[in-house]
Amino acid sequence: MPDPFGVFDAWLADARRLELNDPNAMALATSTPDGRPSVRIVLLKGADRDGFVFYTNTQSRKGCELAANPRAMLLFHWKTLGRQVRVEGPVEPVRPEEADAYFQSRPRESRLGAWASDQSRPLPDRQELMARLTSLDETYPGDDVPRPPHWSGYRLRPERFEFWRDMPFRLHDRTVYAAHEGRWRVSKLYP
């Protein structure tokens, strides 16, 4: 049976060996309630048959867009390998215990930053952010920094994969896996 997850795992393993920077970096595309596209780079923090996981401030622009339209697309581009993968599907929040576990694995400064930052909102002066960090450092003097209620993760559950490989003369190889009635249909696309 076709297995896009196996293909993805193999390609990600290649990228982890050969890509110089952030082989788990992916473009996350969402849209506003009125359909305006919005894209940014985030880091993949988990991938298995349940989906692709990333974490963020749920009150950020992407968080608000996902609340209004819980569908997204991911794009992995590994230039060194001449490969890219597009993954699309519905998005749902991860379980609170998953978010807690990942949050605690982050460096302390990053955990404090999750509290300090009003992500995606205007920042009048960088000193304001730094003052917040100083205050939070005093509020949480040890390593026990709890996860903010506005910080969590999302899981994209794939309905469609497209694997793209660079080929000579721009005659690229494109393979699509599309979910259909509990199975994956495989097809090719013209370059």
Residues identified as active-site: 170
DSSP state of 116: H
Instruction: Give the angle subtended at the CA of 167 by the CAs of 22 and 170, to the nearest 5°.
Output: 105
Cα–Cα distance, 176 to 191 (Å, whole number): 12
The continuous run of DSSP H or E covering 8 comes out as helix 4-18
Instruction: Concatenate the DSSP letters of all residues of 60-91 into one string.
Output: SHHHHHHHH--EEEEEEEEGGGTEEEEEEEEE
Closest residue by Cα to residue 96 from 151, 50, 156:
151
**Rounded to 5 degrees, what are φ and ψ at 57?**
-75, 120
